[in-house]
């Protein structure tokens, strides 16, 4: 049985290349990364749709090629990923005689939106205190990415330099769907996360469960970027979620 394609979607500010080190450790899998317009061209993006389209386009390509797909969404990427998968699950495609499709979602310290809910809206309309907003250019940056995202990552300071401004509009734009209700879902809780603290992650998961979502959780003792902090453990987790004995 062929292995599923892995599609990685990084959180706000992270370049899509941030997953390259972990992709190199998964040579038996076909892997792709989403390049979000709101990070690549932050000042020109005014809503979430370009990011939703970036996810759905990659998934559609892999599904149409007959591949099973696992989407791995980190942090903010839970918002566009949850909105992008209508009609793209394997179960939905099978009903219309199509092969391929999304067989699992994996969220990493990620936002789990309700349909119609934005990230900022979910937290009472107030951004975290470490958001640095440039209203004139419509972008937001983190005040101290090394401390927030990479405090436990080897060469964390070098990774922090690769971050880019993010379109402020996409932090406020509402999700258009909640795919985790319809697709088997796992959530990796990051215990030492300083950006999205563990209690916040747990609240998001429990809220989704109360609405009927079935979400398997595991914990990893890292900060916000577990695949760089504990790559071997992260690889083992991904392989297990993909159905591989490790």
Give the closest residue to 184 by CA, choosing from 245, 109, 116, 101: 101
Tell me: the pLDDT tens digits for 56-89?
999 999 999 999 999 999 999 999 999 999 999 9
Report which DSSP code applies to 113. Answer: P
CA distances to 94, 117, 130, 147, 200 from 187, in Å: 25, 19, 25, 23, 13
Tell me: the pLDDT tens digits for 137-190?
999 999 999 999 999 999 999 999 999 999 999 999 999 999 999 999 999 999
Q: Where do the domains of the chain lie?
A: 5-241
Residue 237 has pLDDT above 80, yes or no: yes
pLDDT of 84 reads: 98
Mean local confidence (pLDDT), 195-211: 97
Under the banding of pLDDT at 50, 70 and 90, the label for residue 41 is: confident
CA distances to 1, 195, 235, 239, 241 from 244, in Å: 11, 31, 11, 5, 7
| Cross-strand pairs, 89 | 102
SS3 217: strand
pLDDT of 246 reads: 55
Q: Which of 7-11, 122-126, 233-237 has the lowest mean pLDDT?
A: 122-126
Contacts of residue 60, Cβ cutoff 8 Å, sequence gap at least 6 = 88
CA distances to 58, 76, 203, 212 from 84, in Å: 10, 14, 23, 20
pLDDT of 124 reads: 82
Mean local confidence (pLDDT), 112-141: 92
pLDDT of 121 reads: 87
Under the banding of pLDDT at 50, 70 and 90, the label for residue 123 is: confident
Taking the C-alpha atoms of residue 139 and residue 195, their distance in angstroms, rounded to an integer, is 18
Mean local confidence (pLDDT), 125-145: 94
Residue 230 has pLDDT above 80, yes or no: yes
Burial 159-190, CB ≥16 within 10 A → b, else e: bbeebbbbbbbbbbbbbbbbbbbbbbbbbbbb
Tell me: the pLDDT tens digits for 96-115?
999 999 999 999 999 999 99
Of residues 41 and 89, more confidence is placed in 89
Of residues 245 and 30, more confidence is placed in 30
Alpha helices in the chain (DSSP H): 20-24, 37-40, 49-64, 78-83, 90-95, 119-122, 145-149, 156-160, 169-172, 198-210, 226-229, 231-241
Q: Which helix (H) or strand (E) holds 7?
A: strand 5-9
For the chain, percent of residues with pLDDT exceeding 70: 99
**Token pair for 16:** 């899509």
pLDDT of 1 reads: 61
pTM for this prediction: 0.96
CATH architecture of 5-241: 3-Layer(aba) Sandwich (3.40)
């Amino acid at each position: 049985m062929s292995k599923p394609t892995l599609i990685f979607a990084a959180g706000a500010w992270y370049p899509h290349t941030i997953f390259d080190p972990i992709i190199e450790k998964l040579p038996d899998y076909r892997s792709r990364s989403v390049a979000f317009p709101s990070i690549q061209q932050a000042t020109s993006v005014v809503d979430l749709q370009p990011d939703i389209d970036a996810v759905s386009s990659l998934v559609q390509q892999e599904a149409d090629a007959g591949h099973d797909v696992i989407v791995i969404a980190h942090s903010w990427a839970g918002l566009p990923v949850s909105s992008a998968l209508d009609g793209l699950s394997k179960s939905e495609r099978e009903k219309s005689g199509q092969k391929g499709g999304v067989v699992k979602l994996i969220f990493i310290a990620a936002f789990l939106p309700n349909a119609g809910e934005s990230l900022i809206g979910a937290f009472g309309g107030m951004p975290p205190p470490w958001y640095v907003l440039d209203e004139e250019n419509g972008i937001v940056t983190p005040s101290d990415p090394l401390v927030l995202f990479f405090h436990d990552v080897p060469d964390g300071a070098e990774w922090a330099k690769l971050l880019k401004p993010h379109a402020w509009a996409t932090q406020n734009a509402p999700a258009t769907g909640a795919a985790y209700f319809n697709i088997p879902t796992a959530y990796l809780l990051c215990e030492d996360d300083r950006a999205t603290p563990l209690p916040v992650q747990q609240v998001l998961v429990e809220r989704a469960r109360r609405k009927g979502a079935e979400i398997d959780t595991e914990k990893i003792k890292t900060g916000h970027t577990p695949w760089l902090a504990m790559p071997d453990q992260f690889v083992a987790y991904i392989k297990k979620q993909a159905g591989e004995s490790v």
